[in-house]
Amino acid sequence: KQLMAMEITQFLLAAQSADARVRTEAEGSLKQFQEQNLPQFLLSLSFELANNEKPSESRRLAGILLKNSLDAKDSGRKELLVKQWCAIDLALKSQIKELLLRTIGSSVPEARHTSAQVIAKVASIEVPQKQWPELVGSLLSNMTQPESPAHLKQSTLETLGYVCEEISHHDLVQDEVNSVLTAVVQGMNQAANNAEVRLAATKALLNALDFSQTNFENEMERSYIMKMVCETACAKEAVIRQAAFECLVSIASTYYEVLEQYMQTLFELTAKAVKEDEESVALQAVEFWSTICDEEIDRQEYDSPDTGDSSPPHSGFIEKALPHLVPMLLETLEKQEEDQDHEDDVWNISMAGGTCLGLVARTVGDGIVPLVMPFVEVNIRKPNWRSREAATYAFGSILEGPTIDKLAPMVAAGLEFLLTATKDENNHVRDTTAWTLSRIFEFLHTPDSGFSVISPQNLPRIVGVLLESMKDVPNVAEKVCGAIYNLAQGYEDAGASSSLLSPYLTEIIQHLLAAAERTDGPESKLRSASYETLNEVVRCSNLLEASGIIGQLLPVIMVKLGQTMDLQVVSTEDREKQAELQASLCGVLQVIIQKLSSKDETKPIIMQNADQIMMLFLRVFGCHSSSVHEEAMLAIGALAYATGAEFAKYMPELFKYLQTGLQNFEEYQVCSITVGVIGDICRALDDKILPFCDQIMSLLIQNLQSDALHRSVKPPIFSCFGDIALAIGGHFERYVATALQIMQGAAQVCAQMDTLDEELMDYGNQLRRSIFEAYSGILQGFKDAKAELMVPYAQHLLQFVELVSKDSLRDESVTKAAVAAMGDLADVVGEKIKPLFSNFTFCGEFLSECLDSEDEDLKDTARWTQGMIARLMVT
């Protein structure tokens, strides 16, 4: 029995009509169809996509709608879609899958491409659940059938690539992996296949590489794959060469350990590409070396702490290739684009080369200096701007990695030259010069640790030059901001020398404010760079000397923020611009509040202005009806800390925005920041937060239970439980049952997480830590009054700690939180749960593991917990 699909071509075409009314109506109909009968809807879309008679426009949209019915960026939505798909009748699903597999053989390229993508989406759901066992076989048979047309092979390879991208290599058995890999590598064979097939095969290999652990361990298979990739890297077609180099990049990071025997070939191949190939290919060739650097830097960093673990092998490829690699990279530096844009998203061969040079410097340290300096010295005074810019860029790139001893004399000798070069006739040269100065201040200006290229003698000249260059064209001014940023940061916590910058603060701040006002640059880049630099200057200043200046800056920023309310807002763009400006100004206020409230002497400045500042923030909120302003919220957190219990008076007005913030699932960062600010307010208000707690707790609980909220917000919410409990103490009683139930549920989720998914494990660690923080807050909150309420949950807490203690992948911070919560339990609940502690024998072992830790903080916590448990056992 075959289900009848509905004819939906008209709707699909109408939904792309230029006439808005027609479009809206069609979209409505499609939506209605989808909601009323999802299985039929999907089937109809599949028919549309599979049918060669249909117009390509309707087929394209059908494919997109199918894809969007199976996958979404938002994790909550994705989960829902997966559930819906799984609920569909098996027969109907296999009909859809049949249609999709048929479509990759279509004569219409676009339909093949789309269905390849949709197949991968279905595979991502069904292959892990072993519900589409025939998929791989079916695809492979397309490759082995002698009569298969080239276009079928091409889309089959494309499909295989996408499927490999979607699923994990644990989802296939080794036999399947072998077959897939064989098919893909054969598809790369130049003699047997046309360009499209080879391109598809090469791209598929890129995704299949992750599956090939076993094959790469076998030298014969590995060498065969490497030979095919290297051959493909010399293909006639640039796109294929590019794809092959992308494979090499991926191999460099995944199979670094086994590359030794191929390095000579790979060097020649990449050097040739960098020298003479098209830029898109050359970029990948440079990327290959950058990736090798990444691997070696990782291994070096892994090596340095004496953990005793066997670190992965370091083959020193960069060190060995250095004499040839560096000249190759230096050569790229002179290939600048004539009218190079100074946007961050510009990426070309000279930038890639400089970036790689920086990585090489970090990999080999001092060794790079003698190889680069002659190039710098020869080129930096040449009449051709490309030479001067390349020389400066090379110099700036190698400032991180080599020792200060090695760099200091050169930098000292070159500093005056660079200061003069800020007046170079060429914009690019000035840009790179300012950037190089900012790198010098970043790496060679740390008075805190005893070294700085800046002395009281040359500081006036440096500040003078920088401030003068602040008036240069926007892209240069922006780099100068970076230089001032690093200059200021060096003086943070620098004791007496932190005063050195104090005399210039007024002038620096004036120039930064002026730069922020400029309108001659693209978008708001200079403005945001100016304000962030201003923030760093304020943050790192010597407060006792700068308090007057910061005190004067405060009203200036307040006025500016006030003025943003009067901006004319007509379009969405106006609204965005206003919000951006407000973001910058709220950011400055946040830093000023934090700085001034850090000392008793200056705190009154904030207290005196608190009412007005708060009013401004409320007005900022008022400007944006749909959402809550993230930066304003962050600044409010700082204000709550500064004002302490006084903050209570703002709560009636602020509260609705806190609620809105908590409900903003779309912009989950806003939600997350709001959760954090509620924590700040709890600490400021203590039990004065009580009247708002019912509503806050309800929202927090709803958020935790919602699939629609980004998961990254959930850990902060559990921590916030702890904050609230600490603030209201025994009053938390009314929430304890619900809160604990959810905490136990979340703990369960942690226990079932896929330990191979690194990103998920990272989340799991955050979640576990936050659950323990919630336990700690609730326990300590109940300490004086309601300790007995926690008796029923003691067992669960200890089980959870036990589980965590047995997880070798746990983060140190999770360990700390777990040990602390265990101590809190012993400290607070005491006597009644004594037998539990005797039953959980893991405690002793876990504690002694913690006591052996290198982390002093963890050791302290473990000692305290040990004391709490000992006290319990002795009495």
Partner 1 sequence: MADVGSASNRRDPIKSSVGNVAGQRRRQQAVTVAKERRESLVRAKRLCRVGTNGGDDEDARVENEMMIDEEQPVLESQTVKAVEELKSAVQSQGKGAMQKRVTALRELRRLLSKSEFPPIDAALTAGAIPLLVQCLSFGSPDEQLLESAWCLTNIAAGKPEETKALLPALPLLVAHLGEKSSAPVAEQCAWAIGNVAGEGEELRNVLLSQGALPPLARMIFPDKGSTVRTAAWALSNLIKGPESKAAAQLVRVDGIVDAILRHLKKTDEEIATEIAWIVVYLSALSDIATSMLLKGGILQLLVERLATSNSLQLLIPVLRSLGNFVSVDPKAMLTILVGGQNTEDTDIPDQISENVTNVLAKCLRSEHRVLKKEAAWVLSNIAAGSIEHKRMIHSSEAMPLLLRLLSTSPFDIKKEVAYVLGNLCVESAEGGDARPRIIQEHLVSIVSGGCLRGFIDLVRSPDIEAARLGLQFIELVLRGMPNGEGSKLVEGEDGIDAMERFQFHENEELRVMANSLVDKYFGEDYGINE
107-146 residues near partner 1, rule: CB under 8 A: 113, 117, 120
Among 48, 196, 295, 536, binds partner 1 (CB under 8 A): 536
Q: Which stretch binds partner 1 (CB under 8 A): 278-286, 327-335, 460-468, 607-615?
A: 278-286
Rounded CA gap, 819 and 847, in Å?
8
Site for partner 1 in 497-526 (CB under 8 A): 525
CA proximity to 401, closest of 344, 453, 439: 439
Least gap, CB of 816 to partner 1 (angstroms): 10
The residue from 485, 647, 732, 846 that contacts partner 1 (CB under 8 A) is 485
The answer to whether 353 and 394 have CB atoms below 8 angstroms apart is: no
861 burial (CB, 10 Å; 0-12 / 13-18 / 19+) is buried
User: Per CB under 8 A, which of residues 791..830 are in contact with partner 1?
Assistant: 820, 823-824, 827, 830
Residue 311 DSSP symbol: P
Listed ranges 214-222, 345-353, 445-453, 731-739: which one lies at the site for partner 1 (CB under 8 A): 345-353
Q: Convert residues 622-661 into a mask of x (bound to partner 1 by CB under 8 A) and - (unbound).
A: ------------x--xx--x--------------------
| 165/128 Cα distance (integer angstroms) | 13
Q: Does 289 bind partner 1 (CB under 8 A)?
A: no
Q: Measured between alpha carbons, how far is 591 from 602 in angstroms, rounded to an integer?
A: 14
Please state, in angstroms and rounded to a whole number, the distance separating the CA atoms of residues 24 and 37: 20
Q: Which of 15, 209, 481, 500 binds partner 1 (CB under 8 A)?
A: 481
Closer by beta carbon to partner 1, 249 or else 620: 249
Angle (CA) 462 350 274, round 5°: 150
> How many residues sit close enough to partner 1 to count as binding (CB under 8 A)?
84
| Distance in Å, CB of 553 to partner 1, minimum | 16
Stretch that binds partner 1, among 87-95, 404-412, 527-535, 616-624 (CB under 8 A): 527-535
Please pick, from the candidates 11, 41, 162, 443, the single residue that binds partner 1 as defined by CB under 8 A. Answer: 162
Query: Would you say the C-alpha torsion 864, 868, 874, 875 has a positive or negative sign?
Result: positive
Query: Which of positions 539-598 make contact with partner 1 (CB under 8 A)?
Result: 587, 590-591, 594
Binding mask 347-376 for partner 1 (x = CB under 8 A): x---xx-xx--x------------------
Interface mask (CB under 8 A) for partner 1, residues 406-435, using x and -? --------------------------x--x
Residues 833, 791: contact at Cβ < 8 Å? yes
The H or E element spanning position 34 is helix 20-36
Q: Which two tokens stand for residue 48?
A: 């549309």
Decide whether 48 or 631 has the Cβ nearer to partner 1. Answer: 631
Indicate whether 479 belongs to the interface with partner 1 (CB under 8 A): yes
Q: Shortest distance, CB of residue 343 to partner 1, whole angstroms?
A: 9
End-to-end CA distance of the chain: give it in Å, rounded.
Answer: 76
249 binds partner 1 (CB under 8 A): yes
Q: Which residues pair with 452 in a beta bridge?
A: 445
Please state the closest distance from residue 677 (CB atom) to partner 1, in A. 8
**Considering only 41-49, 316-324, 568-576, 672-680, which stretch makes contact with partner 1 by CB under 8 A?**
672-680
CB burial readout 652-675, b (16+ within 10 A) else e: eebeebbbbbbbbbeebebbbbbb
Q: Is 780 in the site for partner 1 (CB under 8 A)?
A: yes
User: Is the separation of the CB atoms in 769 and 811 below 8 Å?
Assistant: yes
* Greatest C-alpha distance within the chain: 91
Instruction: Between 62 and 283, name the residue whose CB sits nearer to partner 1.
Output: 283
* Residues of span 308-337 touching partner 1 by CB under 8 A: none
Binding mask 207-236 for partner 1 (x = CB under 8 A): x-----------------------------
Residues 704-723 contacting partner 1, CB under 8 A = 719, 722-723
The Cα–Cα gap between 28 and 14 comes to 11
Nearer to partner 1, 51 or 780 (CB): 780
| Binding residue for partner 1, selected from 649, 683, 731, 786, defined by CB under 8 A | 683
Angle at 552 between CA 547 and CA 553, to 5 degrees: 95
Rounded CA separation 775/796 (Å): 11
Q: Does 240 engage in binding with partner 1 (CB under 8 A)?
A: no
For the segment 17-76, give every residue that binds partner 1 (CB under 8 A): none
**Shortest spacing between CB 36 and partner 1, in angstroms:** 29
When the beta carbons of 26 and 828 are compared against partner 1, the nearer one is 828
Q: Where are the beta strands (DSSP E) in 417-514?
A: 445-446, 451-452
3-state secondary structure of 452: strand
* Alpha carbon 640 to chain centroid, angstroms: 29
Between CA 4 and CA 1 the distance in angstroms is 9
Phi–psi pair at 267, nearest 5 degrees: -65, -45
